[in-house]
Structure 1
Amino acid sequence: MKRSCFTLIFLLWAFVPAIAQTEACRDAFLDSIYWKSSDYIGIYNYNDGISEARKLIEEARFRDNNSYLFHAHNLLGASYTDLSDTLRAKGHYENALEYAEKSKNDTLILWAINNLGNIYADNNETANEGITYYEKAIHLATELEVKNEILYPTVNIAWTYLDNEKLEKAKPYLDKAWRLQKESAITDNYLLSQLNFLTGRYYAGKDELKNAKAYFEDAIEVADEFSYLLEASMAYKAYAKLLFKTEDFKEAYAALDQYEKYNSQIFEKDRLRQIEIANARFDNNKYQHNLELAESEQEYQAKIIRKSNEKLFIMLVSSIILVVILFSLNKINRDRKKLIEELKVKNNQLQESKNEAERLSKLKTQFFSTVSHEIRTPLYGVIGLTSLLLEDKGLKKHENDLKSLKFSADYLLALINDVLQMNKMESNLVKLDNISFHLKDLMASILNTFEFSRVQNSNKIHMSIDKDIPSYLMGDPVRLSQILMNLVGNAVKFTEMGNIYLSARLEKVKDERCFVYFEVKDDGIGIPENKQAQIFEEFSQLRTANYNYQGTGLGLPIVKKLLELHNSEIYLESKEEEGSTFSFEIEFEKDIQKQEKPAQIEQEEELSTGEDALLPKKILIVDDNRINQVVTSRILEKKNFRCEVAGSGEEAIEILNKEDYHLVLMDLNMPGIGGLKATGKIRSFNSQVPIVALTAVEVDEMREKIFTAGMNDIIVKPYDVQQFYRIIYRNIDSREVPAES
């Protein structure tokens, strides 16, 4: 039980006798029963105490005295609280409140509300309900203008918040309690000791150790002077903990000795009390059972007596009812048969609706997959040709136009990807991969994607990666890229002539698992506090006067859902006109198969790969789309590859039966023999040549089929050109292949 509860129980016992005495003039008999019950409970004789309280309820009901009914239930509530029977205690306190309201005695209502607050505040899970009751007590005491009655629930609210580690919420109530205590005409040393102790706890929690020490010392002084064992024990324990923090070890050990001294006294006192309570609880359980049986038997006998006087009338009515029931049963049976038939029809309709919904869901998935392929294929031509034209020095004067064209195509591609990604997540089709990737390359590639947008908005982008993060991690680089792309894109879109910061920091390493903290920060327009939850909802956008802020409103909802797949969540800090900071943490495995390499060595290896690519390597491009053939060939020829084209799977099989190639780029969707089937046939006679899928389909749906068919890797159209080259270099066959067939 929380210490705060003891305060109000103590106060209740102080005030109840006074009320009882004022009522003694009206009913001395009820008052004598009340005192017997109170005295028994005071010496832990709960059996007799509860018996007298129940007797008080019976007599008070007979006399219709709501005030004494309040006191009786209040005594029972206190008894069951001591016996740790919270459920019964709560029931009796609720009854006490009911009779207090019937008596229209505001003071009794105030006590009843306080007691209910104690019951709820004693449990961390229902602490908020306890605080609600305390607030009601404060409100009522304020209306009655009784300052002492305001003080005690105020202290209890502060105590409850401190027990639940809500320091900032506790502080206003502590301040209010101190003010009320100073205004009080009576000095309550018991309360003063508690207030000093609670204030010390607050400052200790805030690491304001000097203030905490002063309050703990005041609490100890009062508790020592008036021999408040529990208050002294708690204060010395907290004081010792504080002294250890300030490295006053000698004083700390002295405080611990005092704590042990008081604790041993409390233990002895509490042990004797617990023995009494345990014995009382054992006897009370048996007594309670017998009492309930006796009450049930008495009530049953009373019912028999009442019913015997009505037996003749009941028999007559029963006969009439029996006839009515027979007719009703007959009608119910007919209606039942009719309802069963209707239910069968409804079940059939429901099953048909379910089948139709499943069919439509499959159609929607197929539609999105088809649309994805049909839109990505021409976009591949647009983005690829635009990238090639941008590298043509003869078209320098059209550079801005070409960049705008590429930006528009990239924007359309991102839009398609967002819609498809949201559809897949809603259909539970997204599964996380666990593959090796290079974090620095991934982040650099993301920033490179937003170069045009960055220049357009006159922004600067800064990237920092903790040097302690391993170069290679095991995880899902595609999902991580989607998360960072959406966050960086969001920052670039809402920032003009400002700065965007992308950083990664190693939080901790545990059992070869790295916990990496990512942060995307900008100094853009910021997000109003009342909109910060809304922006994570689908199709929700921040409404501004600037028409340039476009988008579907899917980026941040996608981020939130992808992080949920990683068992993580997104955090946002933002102020209007000051910018926004999005952060999250993801757990990765360390790729122990790959050795860490200094950046210089990696650059040398990359250059070495590039030089090797200058040799005339033969690549077969298998694609039925003429534009795609041209784009892919032009991109490869820039790196000195020699390309040949096959327009179908059948043609590719025929060519590879006659000639050797260093690599095959295979489209999946082609008329006749598709890429998967063609790969299977090629593997039947050539297991050496690397085959890389070059496709615009949704890879998540096809990944397993692609690798099962015998392909070595995947490139998704449209692609980043540098990433395209890396996959080519990674997979190209280093064997010597005849220059001519």
Structure 2
Amino acid sequence: MKKNYFLLFLLCLFICNSSRAQADDSYIEKELEELLDSLINEVDNYHYEQAIDITHSLLTKAKDLKNHYYISKGYNFLGHIYTDKKDSARARKNYTLGLEYAYLSKNDTLLMHAYNNLGNVYSEIPQTTYKGISFYNEAIKEAKKVGSPLDVITPRTNIGWTYLDLGQHKKAYPYIHNSLELLDSTEVTDSLDKEYKEYLYSQIYMLHGRYFSQEKEYDTARYYFETSLRMVEKDSAILLAADTYREYSKMLAQKGDYKKAYEAQQKYIDYNEQVFEKEKLKQTEIANARFNLNQYKKDLLIAEKEQKYQNDIIQKSKEKVVVMVFSSIGMIFILVFLYKVNRDRQNLIEKLKHKNVQYRDAKVEAEKLSLLKTRFFSTVSHEIRTPLYGVIGLTSLLLEDKSLDKHKSDLKSLKFSADYLLALINDVLQMNKMESNEVKLENVSFNLRDLMNSIVNSFEFTRVQNRNKIHLDIDESIPAYLIGDSVRLSQVLMNLVGNATKFTERGNIHIIARQIDSEAETSKIYFEIKDDGPGIPESKKKVIFEEFSQLSNSNYNYQGTGLGLPIVKRLLKLFRSKINLESEEGKGSTFSFSILFKVDTSKKEIEKPEEEFKSLHNEDRKRILIVDDNRINQVVTKRILEKKDFECEVAGDGQTAIDLVQNGNYDLVLMDVNMPGISGLEATKEIRKFDQHIPVLALTAVEVEEIREEIQAAGMSGIIIKPYDVQQFYQIVYKNLSLNEYTEEL
């Protein structure tokens, strides 16, 4: 009896499920139209998760009715959604299915849209771009069959768009211009509602902006871009707004308006983020999971068949009826439990996949933005450093001219301002590199005394202006040469000494270096920068090490960027050290830190390269070739060298430099890295093919970390970063001339 009740329960469960399925199968065409209207509304409002759910319902009902028109519509909308989501594989699959059912429906308008949609997908893939254009041409043929000029506009516009993406703007223009003419025609204009007409105009205006941007007619391009943006922002067309701001940013960057280009790029990022919100991605994956629930039903059917098999076995033995019934019940519970466990596991896996997609997309987007910012900073710093080289170089030369002594104070002010501007640029670039984890310490040999004396000399103007006294105290026990990153150490000391000189007036600044621990191959140096300025309040001691934070300063000429101390903190972390601060308001401040260096025992203090070189070669004038495409830089470098009685010759490009070195007799080449035509790196490679010994020094405004490996690979002998310290410049030149003489003697 219990067995019969159990079988009756299973039978009722099966009948209920079958009845529900039959009820759900009763669809009418009116429901399909209502579903299609709901789908269009959700897609227009970018509610993709709801749109996918509605599309799946539409397809299920339309397939049951074998209604090819609505099946094609459903697949085309799925393709549209996945196109917006940048999932080209799913989009292509659904658009292809949409085209197949459009053929079956024998509807020309449906065929036209299906061809256009496939053109959109294939034109976005570099390998299938021209296949996409062929689909657009098929769409135009179907549009002409329908006889509506409006339907021709979209595929023609898309062909023009594709040619613009390929960089073939001459081919693109007839298509986009013809589309604008068609849109302006009365026949088309009267058939459109105002909102859709403005959307088409904004799209075509954006493409005209791209065309005139590539033609370098920037004023015309700007007119079209800004007109397009006014329309799309008015109508909240998010996707088109993102595309338009991206292209507008590129045009502004080409024109050289970097500030507005950056603002336009930020607008592009804001609009792009609205489309691809994380919650929408999550809901899309959930909707896909719902669409695959049929698999779980199949699993349940298998479990029921296994139960039936168990019941058949029970019937064969009456003596074991009770045991087998309980066994079957136990098996059901086990299956249900396993099914639940499996379902929960699948849900967890789907959630994990979704999270991984989110993290990956966020990582890719962050890397793109970081790369864009790094390139922007690098380009801007290079473009500013190049004219600064001319300003600083010419000012240094004028300061040495005795006839201009009455202007000496003004020239010093000019040089200080240029040096200060260069320091600000370096601070911003340095902070950007540290945020991108691009800064790594180098190990080179350097003289600590020379480095600290050079730092003190660089603040002479500020010291005199604020009427301060600088006291330099270097421990005699510190080895002559240490091994470490002298550039990063110099940046730390420059920032600390710079702060002390800026905020102290009529006071004393003490710069101290002491050896606190030493072994055979290492030396630990303690550095201290102390001033008797206004001091730092207790509440501000932590804030000053944060980016862009500043204390109020009565000396408004030196407000700075607020990056100095944050840079110091981060650089010292690379040295495995940390900054210590002791300060009391009104009684000055003391910054200190310690760094462990290796000792360079292979070097001893020797006389300066210039004196050594001159003592050996007083009889000959050395010939130096200056290679630079900037005429001001040519003049500055030539005058600096001629002051030391060098014979100089100038080449304006890489090919001229190669020819002169091959036919002339030069002792050294100063080679600019970035030049039109043959770059400095390429020119050096060619020179090394016929001359392995002549020193070739890279003279560049680009950050050294960005091009060090390329410079070494090209065969260059060294690097001089513009703008440079003149005395340091002379030392590098004399050093390489001496090494060249020694090599030739060998």
Pick the aligned partner of 1:368 from 377, 390, 395. Answer: 377
Pick the aligned partner of 2:647 from 635, 642, 648. Answer: 642
Matched with 1:706 is 711
Q: Quick check: which has more Rg, 1 or 2?
A: 1
Pick the aligned partner of 1:609 from 605, 609, 613. Answer: 613
Q: Does 1:657 align with 2:662?
A: yes
Within 2, Cα distance between the matches of 1:486 and 1:429?
20
AA at the equivalent of 1:731: N
Deviation sequence 1:647-696 (CA, Å, 0-9, x none): 11111111111112111111111112211121111111100100111111
Give 1:301-312 correspondences, 5 Å limit.
none
Give 1:414-563 correspondences, 5 Å limit.
414-563=423-572
Within 2, Cα distance between the matches of 1:671 and 1:403?
34
AA at the equivalent of 2:458: T
- Equivalent residues of 2:497, 2:529 under 8 A apart: yes
Within 2, Cα distance between the matches of 1:481 and 1:423?
18
Query: Structure 1 residues 509, 466: closer, same or farther in 2, change over 3 A?
Result: same
Pick the aligned partner of 2:633 from 628, 631, 655. Answer: 628
Pick the aligned partner of 2:682 from 677, 689, 694. Answer: 677
Query: Structure 1 residues 359, 566: closer, same or farther in 2, change over 3 A?
Result: same
> Shift of residue 628 of structure 1?
0.8
Deviation sequence 1:98-121 (CA, Å, 0-9, x none): xxxxxxxxxxxxxxxxxxxxxxxx
Deviation sequence 1:400-454 (CA, Å, 0-9, x none): 2221111111111000100111111111111111111111111111111111111
Query: Structure 1 residues 654, 534: closer, same or farther in 2, change over 3 A?
Result: same
Query: Structure 1 residues 647, 613: closer, same or farther in 2, change over 3 A?
Result: farther
Query: Structure 1 residues 350, 387: closer, same or farther in 2, change over 3 A?
Result: same
Matched with 1:203 is none
Pick the aligned partner of 1:401 from 410, 415, 418. Answer: 410
Within 1, Cα distance between the matches of 2:554 and 2:500?
17
- Equivalent residues of 1:500, 1:523 under 8 A apart: yes
Q: Which runs of 5+ in 2 are unaligned?
A: 1-330
Query: Structure 1 residues 606, 669: closer, same or farther in 2, change over 3 A?
Result: closer
Q: Does 1:583 align with 2:619?
A: no
> Shift of residue 546 of structure 1?
4.3
Query: Structure 1 residues 336, 554: closer, same or farther in 2, change over 3 A?
Result: same
- Equivalent residues of 2:610, 2:734 under 8 A apart: no
Matched with 1:57 is none
TM-score (norm. length: structure 1): 0.52
Matched with 1:725 is 730
AA at the equivalent of 1:367: F
Q: Does 1:564 align with 2:568?
A: no
SS at match of 2:556: coil
SS at match of 1:471: coil
Q: Does 1:696 align with 2:705?
A: no
> Shift of residue 595 of structure 1?
2.4
> Shift of residue 351 of structure 1?
3.1
Within 2, Cα distance between the matches of 1:337 and 1:736?
75
SS at match of 2:360: helix
AA at the equivalent of 2:509: I
Query: Structure 1 residues 325, 693: closer, same or farther in 2, change over 3 A?
Result: same
> Shift of residue 703 of structure 1?
1.4
Give 1:43-122 correspondences, 5 Å limit.
none
> Shift of residue 617 of structure 1?
0.9
- Equivalent residues of 1:613, 1:729 under 8 A apart: no
Within 2, Cα distance between the matches of 1:616 and 1:335?
85
SS at match of 2:363: helix
AA at the equivalent of 2:650: V
Q: How many residues align?
A: 414
TM-score (norm. length: structure 2): 0.52
- Equivalent residues of 1:491, 1:521 under 8 A apart: yes
Q: Which runs of 5+ in 1 are unaligned?
A: 1-321
SS at match of 1:639: coil
Query: Structure 1 residues 459, 665: closer, same or farther in 2, change over 3 A?
Result: same
Query: Structure 1 residues 507, 333: closer, same or farther in 2, change over 3 A?
Result: closer
Within 1, Cα distance between the matches of 2:542 and 2:680?
45
Within 2, Cα distance between the matches of 1:621 and 1:544?
45
Within 2, Cα distance between the matches of 1:428 and 1:732?
37
Query: Structure 1 residues 336, 479: closer, same or farther in 2, change over 3 A?
Result: closer
> Shift of residue 547 of structure 1?
2.6
Give 1:380-395 correspondences, 5 Å limit.
380-395=389-404
Deviation sequence 1:340-366 (CA, Å, 0-9, x none): 778756654543332222122112222
Query: Structure 1 residues 459, 387: closer, same or farther in 2, change over 3 A?
Result: same
Within 2, Cα distance between the matches of 1:636 and 1:614?
17
Pick the aligned partner of 2:386 from 364, 373, 377. Answer: 377
- Equivalent residues of 2:610, 2:730 under 8 A apart: no
Give 1:221-232 correspondences, 5 Å limit.
none
SS at match of 1:461: strand
AA at the equivalent of 1:697: V
> Shift of residue 395 of structure 1?
2.0
> Shift of residue 700 of structure 1?
1.2
> Shift of residue 337 of structure 1?
7.4
- Equivalent residues of 2:553, 2:559 under 8 A apart: no
AA at the equivalent of 1:554: L
Query: Structure 1 residues 349, 579: closer, same or farther in 2, change over 3 A?
Result: closer
Identity of aligned residues (%): 66
> Shift of residue 596 of structure 1?
4.2
Most deviating of 531-540 and 491-500: 531-540
> Shift of residue 735 of structure 1?
6.7
AA at the equivalent of 1:496: E
- Equivalent residues of 1:615, 1:640 under 8 A apart: no
SS at match of 1:671: coil
Deviation sequence 1:448-491 (CA, Å, 0-9, x none): 11111111111111112111111111111101110110111011
Within 2, Cα distance between the matches of 1:563 and 1:734?
34
AA at the equivalent of 1:630: V
**RMSD in angstroms over aligned alpha carbons?**
2.9
SS at match of 1:676: helix
Give 1:124-135 correspondences, 5 Å limit.
none
Query: Structure 1 residues 442, 339: closer, same or farther in 2, change over 3 A?
Result: closer
Most deviating of 329-338 and 681-690: 329-338
Most deviating of 516-525 and 484-493: 516-525
Deviation sequence 1:602-645 (CA, Å, 0-9, x none): 36x65343564784111111111111111111111111111111
> Shift of residue 528 of structure 1?
1.4
Query: Structure 1 residues 614, 442: closer, same or farther in 2, change over 3 A?
Result: farther
Query: Structure 1 residues 426, 704: closer, same or farther in 2, change over 3 A?
Result: same
AA at the equivalent of 2:636: V
